[in-house]
């Protein structure tokens, strides 16, 4: 059992101990400087205490070399901190390409999660040990923030856009999951658990049908993976009529589009990511791909967050199928 | 402590002579005064009331946090209380505290002039401040605002109740009061310095007021516009911040922190100015590296405008923007550390006397150093990811803003109390209270660093049970802290009537404010002083602190 009096909380992800090492470094620097300052202040106050009301000490002769040297020394130390912190931050920002993707939707006051095979859960996240997991997150209402202290990861979850967090659990167990952006009355109840399981246990857990309550609350049929649901919607909503492999298609072929650089009619170049796909579907008139007419309907209000996430998952899956783009 | 001692240098008890306090006793002589000293006192009284209200809210929610389930309050009440605490303490206590009270009272005297440049504007600023404060209080107490003092959108614009509008309006109005005061200070410092008082002879307190005023003038309009945008979105449903209306929720955070980060310096720079005065007076020498200290205030003020994004490392702001903000933030640390070095070096070979104001200055040094150091954990991107929006942040900014801002304010209040009231506070009680406050403060906030690193999120009414022990420690500390403040309020009020009569210069300090009587006459100086020395010329035999009256031969220009 990890006590709150331990220096570090539970270290359960691949980056936990790296963050803690950096924390320890800053801690040592801080403690050394604070103690040094405290010692000098107290020492001088005692040594140079006023001995008589007529004391007239010499005015100080400031040594600008001392000031500049101290400033420069400090700056070097701080730059070390900066680079170390930035390097780790970048690492924490780039999920490995083979990361397993879980969709997360925050709403007042619960977390809805969906696994790659379509299994849904609420306020609990089951993940396999030793497998990198990437969470693609959005909110249905206000800003929330997804925080797993034992993994040292956190990111805000915003309405109208996707954000992500990734981690690789290194220790089986049950860890706190908190919402850390104030989101209204029951903010402090927007909490849950992360269950890190042996991969075999996770597979077994995945294969057990999801509870009916969770799947209706989250919407959509149980057992259908986001990619499958997205493919179904892609046909149902008529996307295929314009987006297909035919040479005369009205819209661009979406195979292999994810991650590609696209040129727009105004000459700007964008890299296709989740947020770009989101905008292209909900508000297709915002950016028009060069060479195409602005004829795509606006889907805002016609599909909900879950369906949007599924369609995007489907479009992303087109990359893996190897079909020529 | 003898109460009936008559001060050796001033046989006339305060009250029976003519000075700014005796110049009219009616309520209207106060409410319509244009005397900067009386306006400073009006602010002092108003701010103490706001401080006690904000403090009472904190006591309530700290008691509630004794148990993981938050048994004392309901969630709604808890959320409203922390919002009230934040709004009141920041907008209606910390931001105005030192400039509006000590700055108003002292700046013209330190400059050797009769009043600020625009005395009527100065009075207007108090009315505007009170209007804003009462409006916000009304909204909070009767309506209940639960958005936190940060008013993050789209919660504040679409989901919180509509009293948010009133509270925002209150903060907006108070912003104008800050602008008026700042404008007054800048013009006064530029135009009304006494003969001989060149820029580099100014007391560091004046430099700090100058830097603060610049920050206020540049930053406040931005937050004012931002608050108007909240208005427009909330009332007219015009999409600015809410994505459901086509707005951008993160835009609000940029605009908000563009002001609110510099606002931290609005709270802390004045305090640094006070501490410079205190350390110099109680070690009887010029501040080590005067120019470095003066310029570092300006450097902090300028760099402070380019670091706002360090509040947004996990907000989905681009990683490159984050990189730049983190980088610049480290640069603010340098001038700050230089100041601490200079204050420490001032003590070296000085003549140090540990009276209550100096204890507060030491308290400032200790707490502010811890506040600054813990800022490093938050400006380092990788550690901030984990610490953002946890109790670590709460502890950090209380160390900076209370440990720094409030300790400076209290130190200054004690130091200039004899000047403002003509009476000494009781030294023994003051030392006792200063120690109680220091201990209580640390016990309240130190455990919160540990809470934060262990993952306790801020603004939580209920929490996981492993955190309880640290919360109980924190609440115990808060009770001690509150007790310290009460003792202090008690003896300060007591001293108004029973305190020993203070002479013009009870500390043997240098500075124009010590060359006039305590309390000063309405016109501050009977004759315009002429400044012949640098600030803090303790080595030059004093021409005045032994001779208590302004000297006629100083008359000049
Ligand atoms: Cu929340
Ligand atoms: Cu900041």
Q: Which two tokens stand for residue A259?
A: 């991650």
Q: Is B477 exposed, middle or buried (0-12, 13-18, 19+ CB in 10 A)?
A: buried
The residues of chain B scoring below 50 in pLDDT are 1-15, 545-557
Q: Which residues in chain B have Cβ-Cβ distances shorter than 8 Å to A298?
A: none
pLDDT (mean) for A139-143:
91
Q: What pLDDT shows up at residue B370?
A: 95
Q: Say which ligand is closest to the CA of B263.
A: 2
What residues have their beta carbon closer than 5 A to ion ligand 2? B 261
Does the pLDDT value for residue A217 go beyond 50? no
CA distances from B312 to B257, B304, B388 (A): 9, 15, 9
Q: Say yes or no for a CB contact (<8 Å) between B344 and A85.
A: no
Minimum CA–CA partner of B68 in chain A: A188
Same domain for A17 and A121?
yes
Domain that holds residue A312: 225-317
Q: Into how many domains does chain A fold? A: 2
Q: In this complex, which of A9, A74, A88 lies closest to B334 when CB atoms are compared?
A: A74
pLDDT at position A4? 87
Residues A235 and A195 in one domain: no
B437 in any annotated domain: no
CATH of the domain at B215: 1.20.210.10
Chain B closest CA to A103's CA: distance in Å? 17
User: What is d(CA B259, CA B215) in angstroms, rounded to the nearest whole number?
Assistant: 9
The reported pLDDT for the residue numbered B549 is: 40
- Based on the domain organization, do A139 and A207 belong to the same domain? yes
pLDDT tens digits, residue range B226-275? 878 887 887 887 778 877 777 788 888 888 888 888 888 899 999 999 99
Count residue pairs from A and B with Cβ separation < 8 A: 279
Residue A139 counted as domain residue: yes
CA of B322 to the centre of ligand 1 (A): 23
Q: In the prediction, which pLDDT does B397 show?
A: 95
Domain span at residue B93 reads 42-273
- Statement to judge: residues A124 and A163 lie in one domain: yes
Integer-rounded Cα Rg, in Å, for chain B is 23
DSSP for B115-133, please give it: S-S-HHHHHHHHHHHHHHH
Burial A171-189 (b: 16+ CB within 10 A, else e): eeeebbbbbbbbbbbbbbe
State residue B542's pLDDT score.
61
Q: Is A85 within the bounds of a domain?
A: no
Which residue from B344, B450, B463 is facing A188, i.e. has the nearest CB?
B463
> Which of the pair, B497 or A55, is modelled with greater confidence?
B497
The pLDDT score that the predictor gives to residue A321 is 56
Ligand 2 center–CA B325 separation, angstroms? 10
- Residue B274 CA to residue B413 CA, distance in Å, equals 9
Q: Which residues of B touch A41 (CB under 8 A)?
A: 344, 347, 362, 365-366
pLDDT for A240-290, tens place per residue? 888 888 777 788 888 888 888 888 888 888 888 888 888 888 888 888 888
Q: Is A41 on the interface with B (CB under 8 A)?
A: yes
Displacement of CA B45 from its chain's centroid (Å): 15
Given this model, what pLDDT does residue B547 score? 37
Residue B197: inside a domain: yes
Looking at the structure of chain B, the number of domains it has is: 1
Q: Do A182 and B459 touch (CB under 8 A)?
A: yes
Tell me the CATH number at A294.
Answer: 1.10.760.10
Given a cut of 60, whether residue A77 has pLDDT beyond it is yes
pLDDT for position B5? 37
Residues A180, B326: C-beta atoms closer than 8 Å: no
What mean pLDDT do residues A5-20 have? 93
Distance CA B396, CA B369 (A): 11
- On the question of pLDDT at A218 being above 60, the answer is no
Give residue B537's pLDDT.
85
Position B280 in a domain: no
Note whether residue B294 is domain-resident: no
Whether the per-residue pLDDT at A313 is higher than 80: the answer is yes
For the stretch A151-164, pLDDT in tens is: 999 999 998 889 99
Whether residue B455 and residue A150 make contact (CB cut-off 8 A), yes or no, is: yes
């Amino acid at each position: 059992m990890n006590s709150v009096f331990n220096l570090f909380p539970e270290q359960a992800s691949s980056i936990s101990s790296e963050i803690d090492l950096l924390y320890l470094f800053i801690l040592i620097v801080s403690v050394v400087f604070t103690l040094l300052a405290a010692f000098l202040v107290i020492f001088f106050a005692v040594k140079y205490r006023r001995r008589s009301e007529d004391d007239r000490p010499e005015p100080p002769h400031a040594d600008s070399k001392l000031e500049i040297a101290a400033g420069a020394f400090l700056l070097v130390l701080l730059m070390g901190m900066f680079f170390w912190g930035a390097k780790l931050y970048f690492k924490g920002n780039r999920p490995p390409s083979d990361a397993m993707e879980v969709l997360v939707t925050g709403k007042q006051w619960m977390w809805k999660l969906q696994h790659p095979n379509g299994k849904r859960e609420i306020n609990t996240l089951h993940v396999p040990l030793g497998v990198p997991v990437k969470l693609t997150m959005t909110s249905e209402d206000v800003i929330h923030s997804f925080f797993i202290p034992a993994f040292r990861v956190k990111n805000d979850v915003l309405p109208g856009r996707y954000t992500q967090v990734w981690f690789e659990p290194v220790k089986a167990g049950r860890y706190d999951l908190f919402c850390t952006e104030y989101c209204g009355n029951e903010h402090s109840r927007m909490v849950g658990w992360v269950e890190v399981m042996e991969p075999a246990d996770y597979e077994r857990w995945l294969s057990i049908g999801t509870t009916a309550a969770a799947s209706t609350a989250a919407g959509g049929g149980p057992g259908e993976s986001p990619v499958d649901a997205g493919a179904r919607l892609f046909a149902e909503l008529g996307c295929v009529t314009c987006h297909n492999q035919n040479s005369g298609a009205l819209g661009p072929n979406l195979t292999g589009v994810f991650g590609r650089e696209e040129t727009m009619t105004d000459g700007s170049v964008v890299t296709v990511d989740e947020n770009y796909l989101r905008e292209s579907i909900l508000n297709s008139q915002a950016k028009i791909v060069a060479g195409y007419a602005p004829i795509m309907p606006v889907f805002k209000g016609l599909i909900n967050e879950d369906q949007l996430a599924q369609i995007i998952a489907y479009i992303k899956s087109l990359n893996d199928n190897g079909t020529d783009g | 402590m003898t109460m009936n001692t008559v001060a050796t240098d001033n046989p006339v008890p305060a009250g029976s002579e003519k000075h700014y306090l005796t110049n009219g006793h009616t309520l209207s002589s106060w409410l319509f005064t244009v005397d900067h000293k009386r306006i400073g006192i009006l602010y002092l009284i108003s701010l103490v009331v706001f401080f006690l209200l904000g403090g009472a809210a904190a006591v309530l929610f700290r008691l509630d946090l004794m148990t993981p389930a938050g048994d004392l309050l309901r969630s709604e009440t808890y959320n409203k209380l922390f919002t009230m605490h934040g709004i009141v303490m920041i907008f209606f206590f910390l931001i105005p505290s030192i400039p509006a009270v000590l700055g108003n009272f002292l700046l013209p005297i330190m400059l050797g002039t009769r009043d600020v440049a625009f005395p009527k504007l100065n009075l207007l600023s108090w009315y505007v401040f009170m209007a804003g404060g009462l409006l916000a209080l009304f909204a909070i107490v009767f309506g209940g605002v639960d958005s936190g003092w940060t008013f993050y959108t789209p919660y504040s614009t679409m989901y919180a109740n509509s009293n948010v509008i009133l509270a925002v309006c209150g903060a907006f109005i108070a912003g104008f009061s800050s602008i008026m005061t700042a404008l007054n200070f800048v013009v006064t410092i530029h135009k009304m310095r006494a003969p001989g008082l060149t820029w580099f002879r100014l007391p560091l307190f004046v430099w700090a007021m100058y830097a603060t005023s610049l920050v206020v003038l540049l930053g406040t309009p931005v937050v004012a516009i931002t608050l108007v945008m909240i208005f427009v979105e909330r009332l007219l449903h015009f999409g600015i911040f809410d994505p459901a209306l086509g707005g951008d929720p993160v835009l609000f955070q940029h605009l908000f922190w563009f002001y609110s980060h510099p606002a931290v310096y609005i709270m802390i720079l004045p305090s640094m100015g006070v501490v410079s005065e205190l350390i110099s007076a109680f070690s009887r020498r010029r501040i080590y590296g005067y120019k470095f200290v003066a310029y570092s205030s300006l450097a902090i003020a300028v760099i402070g405008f380019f670091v706002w994004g360090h509040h947004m490392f996990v907000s989905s702001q681009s990683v490159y923007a984050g990189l730049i903000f983190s980088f610049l933030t480290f640069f603010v640390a340098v001038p700050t550390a230089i100041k601490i070095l200079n204050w420490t070096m001032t003590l070296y070979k000085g003549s140090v006397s540990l009276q209550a104001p100096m204890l507060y200055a030491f308290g400032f040094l200790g707490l502010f150093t811890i506040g600054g150091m813990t800022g490093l954990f938050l400006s380092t991107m990788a550690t901030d990811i984990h610490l953002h929006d946890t109790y670590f942040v709460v502890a950090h900014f209380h160390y900076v803003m209370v440990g720094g801002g409030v300790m400076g304010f209290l130190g200054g209040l004690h130091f200039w109390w004899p000047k403002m009231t003509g009476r000494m506070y009781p030294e023994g009680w003051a030392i006792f209270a200063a120690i109680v406050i220091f201990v209580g403060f640390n016990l309240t906030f130190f455990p919160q660093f540990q809470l934060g690193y262990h993952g306790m999120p801020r603004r939580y009414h209920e929490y996981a049970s492993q955190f309880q022990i640290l919360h109980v420690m924190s609440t115990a500390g808060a009770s001690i802290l509150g007790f310290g403040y009460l003792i202090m309020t008690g003896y300060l009020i007591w001293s108004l009537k029973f305190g020993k009569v203070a002479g013009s210069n009870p500390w043997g300090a240098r500075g124009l404010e010590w060359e006039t009587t305590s309390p000063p006459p309405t016109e501050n100086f009977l004759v315009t002083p002429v400044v012949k020395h640098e600030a803090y010329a303790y080595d030059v035999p004093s021409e005045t602190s032994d001779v208590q009256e302004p000297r006629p031969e100083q008359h000049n220009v």
